[in-house]
Amino acid sequence: MLELLLTTYAFCYHFQLDDPLIQLVEDYKWIDFFDFRWKLGIDGLSIGPVLLTGFITTLATLAAWPVTRDSRLFHFLMLAMYSGQIGSFSSRDLLLFFIMWELELIPVYLLLSMWGGKKRLYSATKFILYTAGGSIFLLMGVLGVGLYGSNEPTLNFETSVNQSYPVALEIILYIAFFIAFAVKSPILPLHTWLPDTHGEAHYSTCMLLAGILLKMGAYGLIRINMELLPHAHSIFSPWLMIVGTIQIIYAASTSPGQRNLKKRIAYSSVSHMGFILIGISSITDTGLNGAILQIISHGFIGAALFFLAGTSYDRIRLVYLDEMGGVAIPMPKIFTMFSSFSMASLALPGMSGFVAEVLVFLGIITSQKYLLMPKIAITFVMAIGMILTPIYSLSMSRQMFYGYKLFNTPNSSVFDSGPRELFVSISIFLPVIGIGMYPDFVLSLSVDKVEVKRPEVAKPCVKIVLEAVIVDLLDLLYKMACRHSDSNRDALALLPKSSVDGENKTPHHHNTYQYAWIIPFLPLPVPMLIGLGLLLFPTATKSLRRMWAFQSVLLLSIVMIFSMNLSIHQINSSSVYQYVWSWIINNDFSLEFGYLIDPLTSIMSILITTVGILVLIYRFWFTRPVAAKACQKAFVTNRVGDFGLLLGILGFYWITGSFEFRDLFQIFNNLISNNEVNFLFVTLCAVLLFAGAIAKSAQFPLHVWLPDAMEGPTPISALIHAATMVAAGIFLVARLMPLFIVIPHIMNFISLIGIITVFLGATLALAQKDIKRGLAYSTMSQLGYMMLALGMGSYRSALFHLITHAYSKALLFLGSGSVIHSMETLVGYCPKKSQNMVLMGGLTKHVPITKISFLLGTLSLCGIPPLACFWSKDEILNDSWLYSPIFAIIAWSTAGLTAFYMCRIYLLTFEGHLNVHFQNYSGKKNTPFYSISLWGKEGAVWVMKMGIILELGSKETWALLLGVFAIFLHTRTNKNFSGGKISPIVATLAFYNLVCYFWGKTIRNRTNSYGSFTLPLVKNSRKVFEYKKGNTNTFNLVNDVKEQNRDTTNTF
């Protein structure tokens, strides 16, 4: 610890960030014959790895505190390894670099062979053979550089950099150095030592291997291959690019098959090394800065993951994932930290990995060395790798922390992390978050060095590129605003133009609303305090649950008031209210923060705050182990759309050179009008942008996550389906409308996806027995209406239906939660029974208020006037007739199906008799018409049922005839017939009568089948739910579910 403090003080106090030359130089003559000098020095490329080495080594020493066998020797070897690594990063002499490179091999070998697992000797021998073999090539390269061009060997690094070599010799030297660094990195196919070494080493040794030793190879590629041998590097860079892309896919595909937890983490290190290779081979300043940032970022993340895996092993004595399960219940703190670092590993925005990988992407896009098609291929392969990363990362967390396998064996000795583990985890997590929020702190260390050492490559100024990366990415998040007009396709400029000339800027206060900062920032303190409290003081935080809930509702209510105030200003005037300020760094680098509030933003702010308040006030939840799989499915599916969105953003950045909406729209419109773009490439980029909206708004074919998301708590379901996540996709398309409408065929594609989603969601909702899944497919269908409207150019009607549907669906989900809790008093905690509508019925007298609210939401969604959804849906259907009669017919028919399945949900739940006590119930027996899927094997059975109309009683016959007559009367009496006017009211009336018709037949059949019954008395006992037992973990795992319903829970 003292050494780390002294090192940090020396570098921070004496190191000059604006000086690109070597600093803190130590130069002593050692051997006269070879002109060998003890020369150490630090520059912008090496200061990051040096500080990382001191930081990780200090924490690894603290992590090794439980080591009691030969502890003095253990810590001595760790410090010896630290000395070799520091010497390698700071050496300014090639022979000294080789000596320091070799110095750390023996300590690693002893740490592996003496404090490893059962196969420690095998893994240690394999490690020493691989690395010693690579060192032979390193020595050959060092001698080749030192002996060329001079009678006396010259090993000084500065002299070697200025030396010119024949191309053939440079290629040979490059290959020799590359093999040595490929072994240490590792790079395919020289990586096989890494999984075995990590699998057997002590976790403190793994921290040093993953955090530092692997980074020595990447540092060598930059310091020697790239800096000493630039011509050979330019020749080999395409091959490095190919190897990097293969490595990303290979490691991400191999990792899920690993049973050993530490080996799975090891393969993630191999995958991340692929991004470093691609950044180095991009031949751009941006890509190289991304590679350097990835070296530092993965040094933190990899060390943290191995530390948490090791602390978990110390407690449960298990290392194979298929033997684990349920670890989150006894160890919530370890679970929280492991999940957080897993999110950082898969490049979650706001963490260091995201910034590093985005910089690598931008390095490829802005590279002048590669043609367009190779760039597209490389970015797509990288995106696939980043999509595969959540699969093995989240499955690792799911297998380790969820389920109940550990409860089959005594686990009284299992305990959560103590102060030491918590200190190490938080110490690593803080820089991960800090770099993710403010990456310029790290990038500023190497930016000048990157500029100075690579002058031969013509590239844009790195500071302009870095500002475009950071400023414009923030603009993309905070300045998402543009006005849309049907008569004017050009985007309006809403923000002052940001400049990159390095001059001082003054904050813009024109049309500024001084309280605008309240809207995004005021609700943040409470969840941050709750999360910190659950991590540090879980028992006290849980006991103050109601107090935290009150504060959350209060703050969100304040935000809602300000949102409404802004909307009133928007109604009274067309001014755009903004709050923008500048953050100037050293009068050279400026970071602008801001957000714009136009009518679209005002609508979304009111929508999110009001629905959020309803969810917080009326809150309840239940938990289920299979929710972990649903979570992984939702994350991966949305990850697919997110990286499509990222690729689309990078594509338009490559075309226009800007991320800012105003500049992007103006430049792109000029290019389109002058016919200066490749329309095929532009259409591809637009489809990729739209892919983000497809995933977020659950459009076909990325809709599969939405029904499974019903495994979560009901208030979260209400919030996701009503106002937040699914609304984000609609908002994105609405915001990018000025871009989409000038691209041929993209609007047709949007409307096609919308109409497919409309019909598919409605037909799938017909067959659902789970009440929440039925509402989920209903949400999918209604989102399809909104996307259809956007594709038709009906901007206003899409946003109108977004608002009306949000409130109606929030009401339905909250009502379904009340129904589920009522059913749990009868069937216990069993979602398969408490959410099954077939077991419900007759709940009107038990929950009358819930019945009324649910009925209002149902009628609104069905389109019954004068409720809200009637007006919005009617406008969409009316516009659909003007756009395409085929789309209009499908949309009109689906409006009828909406009334059909919504009335089915209502009737099954609240009308008739309570069916849960029928002992001879069978899901396949006496299946009614409204429970048959149009997509299943029995999809044609409903045609046979329609052939027995004359056998029905008079009430059902009149109901059917009344529905048909309503449509006939409407078409005859309206001379100016418009297809949109027949819906949704007439379609709703017709299908509602069809429901009554088949409902009467079904009830009669059920009565005849089951006969009379008596509802048994329910015991007057109050059920205690898990969130009241003080066991409210991050994902609300339940301790005693297996005792309540052993036959209904799935473990994994």
In this prediction, residues 50-55 reach a mean pLDDT of 88
Higher pLDDT, residue 556 or 387: 387
The pLDDT of residue 1050:
34
pLDDT digits (tens, 9 = 90+) for 953-1009: 334 444 444 444 444 444 344 434 444 444 445 455 445 454 444 444 444 444 333
Q: Which two tokens stand for residue 808?
A: 């109606």
Residue 307 has pLDDT above 90, yes or no: yes
DSSP assignment, residue 227?
T
b/e per residue, 715-736, with b = 16+ CB within 10 A? bbbbbbbbbbbbbbbbbbbbbb
Q: Which two tokens stand for residue 593?
A: 């923060």
Confidence of residue 23 (pLDDT cuts 50, 70, 90): confident
The pLDDT of residue 786:
93
pLDDT digits (tens, 9 = 90+) for 771-783: 888 998 999 999 9
CA–CA gap between residue 116 and residue 202 (Å, rounded): 6
> Token pair 């990288």 is at which residue?
382
Higher pLDDT, residue 326 or 781: 781
Question: Average per-residue pLDDT in the chain?
Answer: 73
Of the listed ranges 503-507, 569-573, 643-647, the least confidently predicted one is 503-507
In this prediction, residues 842-848 reach a mean pLDDT of 85
DSSP assignment, residue 982?
G
Confidence of residue 440 (pLDDT cuts 50, 70, 90): confident
Ranges 119-128, 456-465, 1003-1012, 1013-1022, most confident: 119-128
In this prediction, residues 51-72 reach a mean pLDDT of 88
Confidence of residue 585 (pLDDT cuts 50, 70, 90): very low
pLDDT digits (tens, 9 = 90+) for 214-269: 889 999 999 888 888 888 888 898 899 999 999 998 988 888 888 888 899 999 88
Query: Computed from CA positions of residues 283, 286, 291, 296, in that sequence, does the dihedral angle turn out positive or negative?
Result: positive
Residue 900 has pLDDT above 50, yes or no: yes
Peptide bond connecting 186 to the previous residue in cis, omega within 30 degrees of 0: yes
In this prediction, residues 55-70 reach a mean pLDDT of 88
The pLDDT of residue 976:
42
Q: Which two tokens stand for residue 818?
A: 């009340």
CA–CA gap between residue 613 and residue 561 (Å, rounded): 12
The pLDDT of residue 152:
64
Higher pLDDT, residue 845 or 1052: 845
Q: Would you list the domain boundaries of the chain?
A: 1-228, 236-460, 469-603, 624-1018
Residue 887 has pLDDT above 90, yes or no: yes
Residue 378 has pLDDT above 60, yes or no: yes
The pLDDT of residue 519:
65
Contact assessment for residue 902 and residue 862, using Cβ atoms and an 8 Å cutoff: yes
pLDDT digits (tens, 9 = 90+) for 522-570: 666 767 777 677 666 667 666 666 666 666 667 767 776 666 666 666 5
In this prediction, residues 584-594 reach a mean pLDDT of 43
Of the listed ranges 199-203, 587-591, 886-890, the least confidently predicted one is 587-591
Higher pLDDT, residue 895 or 398: 895
CA–CA gap between residue 816 and residue 688 (Å, rounded): 36
Higher pLDDT, residue 444 or 57: 57
The pLDDT of residue 601:
56
Confidence of residue 450 (pLDDT cuts 50, 70, 90): low
SS3 call for 1037: coil
Ranges 4-8, 69-73, 571-575, 978-982, most confident: 69-73
pLDDT digits (tens, 9 = 90+) for 147-175: 775 666 677 777 777 777 888 888 899 99
> Token pair 């684990």 is at which residue?
324
Rg from Cα positions in the chain: 32
Phi and psi at residue 45, in whole multiples of 5°? -75, -30
pLDDT digits (tens, 9 = 90+) for 787-817: 999 999 888 889 889 888 888 888 888 888 8
The pLDDT of residue 858:
92
The pLDDT of residue 754:
93
Higher pLDDT, residue 952 or 162: 162
pLDDT digits (tens, 9 = 90+) for 204-213: 999 999 888 8
The pLDDT of residue 894:
92
Higher pLDDT, residue 1049 or 728: 728
Confidence of residue 361 (pLDDT cuts 50, 70, 90): confident
Q: Which of 255, 261, 278 is nearest to 327 (CA)?
A: 261
Q: Which two tokens stand for residue 541?
A: 């935080």
Per cent of the chain over pLDDT 90 is: 11
Pairing of strands 577-585, 36-42: unpaired
Residue 379 has pLDDT above 70, yes or no: yes
Q: Which two tokens stand for residue 1015?
A: 């509802």
Q: Which of 976, 989, 817 is nearest to 909 (CA)?
A: 817
The pLDDT of residue 722:
60
Residue 177 has pLDDT above 90, yes or no: yes
β partners of residue 91: 40
pLDDT digits (tens, 9 = 90+) for 462-500: 333 333 333 333 343 333 333 333 333 333 333 333 333
Q: Which of 906, 816, 812, 815 is nearest to 868 (CA)?
A: 812
Contact assessment for residue 577 and residue 566, using Cβ atoms and an 8 Å cutoff: yes
In this prediction, residues 658-669 reach a mean pLDDT of 82
Residue 412 has pLDDT above 60, yes or no: no
